[in-house]
Amino acid sequence: MAYSAEPSSSLSFTSSPPLSNGSISHNVSCSGSESVPNLEVISLSKLSSSLEQLLVDPGCDFSDADIVIEGIPVGVHRCILASRSRFFRELFKREKGSSGKEGRPRYSMSDLLPYGDVGYEAFLFFLSYVYTGKLKPSPMEVSTCVHNGCAHDACRPAINFVVELMYAASVFQMPDLVSIFERRLLNFVGKALPDNVIPILVVAFHCQLNQLIAEGIERVARSDIDDISIEKGLPDEVVKKIKVLRCKAQQDCVSNLPPVDPLREKRIRRIHKALDSDDVELVKLLLTESNITLDEANALHYAAAYCDPKVVTEVLDLGLADVNLRNSRGYTVLHIAVMRKEPSIIVLLLTKGARASELTSDGQNAVSICRRLTRPKDYHSKTEQGQEANKDRICIDVLEREMRRNPMAGDTSISSQIMPDDLHMELLNLENRVCL
């Protein structure tokens, strides 16, 4: 009697090379099927998920210390932080922290950072990686803006969130995270508006990220950002390198650029310093002595960007400045003011005839600029009684109401006698609405 041989399934055992910890993993595989997942990977994944429960499950609150960020205490487990970060290991050895609830040690984030800021959401994101070894998606409420047409791939909130994470990774000595966030910031440098490269350069300088510093300096040097904005926003060492690159570019340029008058530049700087000192009377004296006008010094732009609102009022009251003047970059005073997001200055400029419909060279009006700078968290936040009103929401609402009322705003002869009272009333009403 003949028997035909049936095909039989076979098991094969393959030995893998030694792992980094010295152990050897053995993969059990069936012919014609995928390899059985590595048991070590499964174990690490389970450990990661278990540790994550310590952060997300209120019933698993076994934390033994608090770190206070933006007035909010965040419970942490010192043994985990100490095992993952040399910074925290040394901190917990050296300092017991102030006594919080139930005698728990309490540390303030502002005391831990020698430079920069780390917000609440950024620290939770950082903690999640420390506990689990995994990067979560960035929280939309703090890493995007409220502009509907923005791709959020290089807007200011997206950049600021990664900048905060870089400060945390660098200060708390997590080199693997530093490498990840440096790559993200390098990507931003190529995409972002030149103004948004400034905070990237600042964090690169403090965290000593040489490649990021070099690429950021190159980008800013090639941009049209004026020297004053660079000096106000960047460390002196970085400013000097940018100016050296600009000088070389000007020397290599074949076009005949108008010569710079050192005396004129010096007089303009004096006017700006007088504004910094809130001394408008000195400004008037300097204007008389130097034969330089407020518009030639871009004095109103400067005041809207850096000075107290009352100084802006006093400069406008001189009646010598064009409220819709464009600076060398094509920005009006209102464009500069919305970057600062100070409602009182925005309302003041609108009452003096500033046109909200004016566009920048890249097609942005004041509302779109403001929206691209505002996070959903700030736009939708509620203001508790007795606290400062939600300035982000007020700025956008005031500008949008002005656009609806006067979308073209092409005629500066429109009666400004009605506008001041209307706009100030709107500002008060909006503040009250936000508080409620």
Domain spans in the chain, listed from the N-terminal domain onward: 11-58, 124-252, 322-435
| Residue tagged 């076979």 (tokens) | 10
CA distance linking residue 320 with residue 7, whole number of Å: 97
Share of the chain above pLDDT 90, in %: 67
Instruction: Give the per-residue pLDDT at 185.
Output: 98
Nearby residues of 93 by Cβ (< 8 Å), 6 or more positions away: none
Task: Give the model's pLDDT for residue 296.
Answer: 95
Residue 96 is predicted with a pLDDT of 75
Residue corresponding to tokens 């002196």: 236
Mean pLDDT (whole number) for 187-195: 95
pLDDT confidence of residue 372? 97
pTM: 0.82
The answer on pLDDT for 436 being more than 50 is no
pLDDT tens digit string along 65-121?
A: 999 999 999 999 999 999 999 999 999 998 876 665 667 899 999 999 999 999 999
Which pLDDT does position 255 carry in this prediction? 53
In this prediction, residues 120-127 reach a mean pLDDT of 96
Asked if 427 and 394 count as a contact pair (C-beta separation under 8 A), the reply is yes
Is the pLDDT at 337 greater than 60? The verdict is: yes
Q: What is the pLDDT of residue 269?
A: 95
pLDDT at position 12: 37
* Residue 54 pLDDT greater than 80, yes or no: no
Low-confidence winner among 16-20, 85-89, 140-144, 190-194 (lowest mean pLDDT): 16-20
Would you state the pLDDT for residue 65?
93
Average pLDDT of span 125-132: 94
At 27-42, the pLDDT tens digits run 444 444 455 568 887 8
Question: Does the pLDDT at position 21 exceed 50?
Answer: no
Res 182: pLDDT: 98
Higher per-residue pLDDT: 100 or 271: 271
Average pLDDT over residues 223-237: 96
Least confident of 195-209, 256-270, 309-323, 361-375: 256-270
Q: H/E/C letters for each residue in the chain? A: CCCCCCCCCCEEEEEEEECCCCCEEEEEEECCCCCCCCHHHHHHHHHHHHHHHHHHCHHHCCCCEEEEECCEEEEECHHHHHHHCHHHHHHHHHCCCEECHHHCEEEEHHHHCCCCCCCHHHHHHHHHHHHHCCCCCCCHHHHCCCCCCCCCCCCHHHHHHHHHHHHHHHHCCCHHHHHHHHHHHHHHHHHCCHHHHHHHHHHHHHHCCHHHHHHHHHHHHHCCCCHHHHHHHCCHHHHHHHHHHHHHHHHHCCCCCCCCCHHHHHHHHHHHHHHHCCCHHHHHHHHHHHCCCCCCCCHHHHHHHHCCHHHHHHHHHCCCCCCCCCCCCCCCHHHHHHHHCCHHHHHHHHHCCCCCCCCCCCCCCHHHHHHHHCCHHHHHCCCCCCCCCCHHHHHHHHHHHHHHHCCCCCCCCCCCCCHHHHHHHHHHHHHHHHHC
pLDDT for 155 = 96
CA distances from 254 to 37, 244, 257 (A): 64, 18, 9
- Mean pLDDT, the chain, rounded, equals 84
Q: Is the pLDDT of residue 9 over 60?
A: no
Under a CB-based contact definition with an 8 Å cutoff, are residues 347 and 398 in contact? yes
Q: What is the pLDDT of residues 350-389, one digit of tens each?
A: 999 999 999 999 899 999 999 999 999 999 987 655 556 6
Spatial distance between the Cα atoms of 315 and 345, rounded to a whole number of angstroms: 12
CATH topology classification for 322-435:
1.25.40
pLDDT of res. 274: 97
Crossing angle between the packed helical segments 210-222 and 175-191, to the nearest 10 degrees: 10
Q: Are 169 and 126 in contact (CB under 8 A)?
A: yes
Mean pLDDT of 405-433: 49
